[in-house]
Amino acid sequence: MTVNEHPHPDSPESEDVESFRLRARAWLADNMPLLSADAPQVSSSELDQRVVDRARVLQRRLFDGGFAGLVFPKEYGGQGLTPAHQHAFNEETVGYEMPTFFNIPTLSIIAPTLLEFGTEDQKRRYIEGILRGDELWVQFLSEPTGGSDLAGAVTRAERDGETWVLNGAKTWSTFAIFCDYAMCLARTDWDATKHGGLTMFLMKIDQPGVDVDWIKQSNGVRDFCQEFFTDVCLDSDAVIGDVNGGWAVASGLLNHERASGGGSWYAHDGGGARVDVAEDNLVDLARKLDPADAHHLDLLGEAHTLRMVHRQVSARVSAGIQTGHYPDAAGALLRMSIGLLGARRATIGMELAGSSSVGWRPDDPTSQYGNDYLFRQAHCLGGGSTEMQRNIISERLLGMPRERSEDRDRPFRDVPRTDR
């Protein structure tokens, strides 16, 4: 199934959206905790095991109540409903604490990729594990040699009888230390072309030969991990898609990743609420400073305009992809919009907060804007950099000539590389 395909067209036997909404409203009131200021948040710089454990409990609660994986097929543990049901559910969940740690990448990127490329056994085994809240996933794609040139991966998997032996390193994997499984892209044929010799594997993270370390960022926060693989054994049924067909799987995965920027119908919410909260925080900050300051008002106006534009882009592109009016590559517009919005908002926050944002005083909330500023460039990198999105937009949406590439058509073994 591609992003363009509607997962479950409305069928007469499925519950209509309004009765579903009422049922969901009653169930949420009886079962889910209200969002409180001290509920552990995914975006908090204090993210720790508590957030993860809490997310697993809440995801399990949704599963047991019949509200997990609304658009996933019933045979894989889902509810077999439509994106309209998911949308209604998301609206009803406002104000409740939801297991958003499962959203990215587990529910919105990994699970749909398994649905699209996994074998029947993989789908039955792993999608239900995700929906039940038992298993969190991460993507092992980027390597120390670079993340933009994903097809240039040099982590290798070699066949040894019925198993594969994996060696190499991955980096920038978000919260990998808390995850159970990964999708890992590895080179399996060095005589094939760059894109033709890759295979996607699913792998358990807690196993011999896998070392996972935190990366500490310049703002003192730990969001990312790096992994080192030494003779990791993977069974033959760990291959997702075809052997040496990993580029198709990676491309599908990236389509889901870019599309998730507009709010994935596979996940609990679209992230729109987070943008609203960030803007409300900026307004509160400006009020505390000098509410009449003309420059502050200009900055707030700009932040508001950016959000409104992003909302429109997001609604239009998401609808375009879902209905098939836009190709999957249009997700690059969403990714770019999110990147530019996030980076500019971080700069606006810093400019409003002024010198107090560099104070690093934990009891002063304005110091958060200094942290956000140090993280600002990440908005333009995660899920593929904004420059790469511009390449996709120009080549795949506007039909401009492909970027020149010297390494595309020759055996990867002969491509000059920096890792040797």
Ligand X SMILES: Cc1cc2nc3c(=O)[nH]c(=O)nc-3n(C[C@H](O)[C@H](O)[C@H](O)COP(=O)(O)OP(=O)(O)OC[C@H]3O[C@@H](n4cnc5c(N)ncnc54)[C@H](O)[C@@H]3O)c2cc1C
Mutual orientation of helices 294-323 and 272-288 as an angle, nearest 10°? Answer: 180
Residue 365: exposure state from Cβ atoms within 10 A (0-12, 13-18, ≥19): middle
Spot the catalytic one: 257, 387, 395, 403. Answer: 257
Report the nearest approach of ligand X to the CB of residue 76 (Å): 23
Report the nearest approach of ligand X to the CB of residue 146 (Å): 4
Residue number, 361 or 404, with CB nearest to ligand X:
404
Residue number, 76 or 375, with CB nearest to ligand X:
375
Q: Select from 221, 243, 374, 381 the one that contacts ligand X (CB under 6 A).
A: 381
387 belongs to the binding site for ligand X (CB under 6 A): yes
Name, in order, each residue with C-beta under 8 angstroms of 262's C-beta and a sequence gap of 6 or more: 270, 313, 314, 315, 317, 318, 321, 331, 334
Q: Which stretch binds ligand X (CB under 6 A): 230-238, 278-286, 308-316, 380-388?
A: 380-388
Report the nearest approach of ligand X to the CB of residue 300 (Å): 26
Q: Select from 391, 394, 396, 408 the one that contacts ligand X (CB under 6 A).
A: 391
Judge whether 415 and 407 are in contact, CB under 8 Å: yes
Report the nearest approach of ligand X to the CB of residue 289 (Å): 29
Residue number, 4 or 385, with CB nearest to ligand X:
385
Which helix (H) or strand (E) element contains residue 201? strand 198-204
Residue number, 124 or 396, with CB nearest to ligand X:
396
Report the nearest approach of ligand X to the CB of residue 108 (Å): 13
Residue number, 162 or 206, with CB nearest to ligand X:
206
Residues near ligand X (CB under 6 A), total: 20
Q: Which residue, 249, 268, 134, 125, is CA-closest to 185?
A: 249
Select the residue whose beta carbon is closest to ligand X and give its number.
Answer: 147
Gap between the Cα atoms of 251 and 95, Å rounded? 35
138 belongs to the binding site for ligand X (CB under 6 A): yes
Q: Which residue, 192, 201, 187, is CA-closest to 152?
A: 187
Annotation marks residue 5 as catalytic: no
SS3 assignment, position 193: strand
Judge whether 371 and 219 are in contact, CB under 8 Å: yes
Name, in order, each residue with C-beta under 8 angstroms of 201's C-beta and a sequence gap of 6 or more: 157, 164, 166, 183, 184, 185, 186, 234, 238, 239, 240
Reported residue count of the chain is 420
384 belongs to the binding site for ligand X (CB under 6 A): yes
Which helix (H) or strand (E) element contains residue 231? strand 224-235
Query: Which 140-159 positions form the footprint of ligand X (CB under 6 A)?
Result: 140-142, 146-148
Residue number, 32 or 184, with CB nearest to ligand X:
184
Q: Which stretch binds ligand X (CB under 6 A): 90-98, 240-248, 275-283, 387-395?
A: 387-395
Site string for ligand X, 350-379 (x = CB under 6 A): ----------------------------x-
Check residue 166 and give left, alpha or beta (phi > 0: left; psi -120 to 50: alpha).
beta
Site string for ligand X, 164-183 (x = CB under 6 A): --------xxx---------
Residue number, 48 or 403, with CB nearest to ligand X:
403
Gap between the Cα atoms of 355 and 336, Å rounded? 30
Which helix (H) or strand (E) element contains residue 309? helix 294-323
The encoded tokens of residue 316 equal: 């239009």
Report the nearest approach of ligand X to the CB of residue 188 (Å): 18
Active site residues: 257
Residues that bind ligand X (CB under 6 A): 138-142, 146-148, 172-174, 378, 381-382, 384-385, 387-388, 391, 403
